[in-house]
Amino acid sequence: MMLFTTAEAAEYLRLKERKVYELVAEGAIPCTKVTGKWLFPKDELDRWLLTLIAQLSNVLRRSVGPAFWAIKSVL
């Protein structure tokens, strides 16, 4: 199991460290605290990202409507 520090997680996710801390405070990102430091399991971050991408994809699919997808399928 690969564990990231906050700085490493921020770099991996392409976020600022401050944003990672905000996500931790919101309970929105998978992490654990060990000896006073936040650690982020890479495999859990990957699953979390895939879930976010799937949710965003569903929102976009619903918001653009079937006409867009019909046009896109013929292009």
Q: Residue ranges of the domains in the chain?
A: 3-63
Rounded to 5 degrees, what are φ and ψ at 58? -65, -40
* pLDDT tens-digit readout, 39-72: 999 999 999 999 998 888 777 677 666 666 666 6
Q: Does 3-63 carry CATH code 1.10.10? A: yes
pLDDT of residue 65: 65
Of 15 and 54, more confident: 15
Give the CA distances from residue 50 to residues 33, 42, 47, 74, 75, in Å, rounded to whole numbers and listed in that order: 23, 12, 5, 27, 27
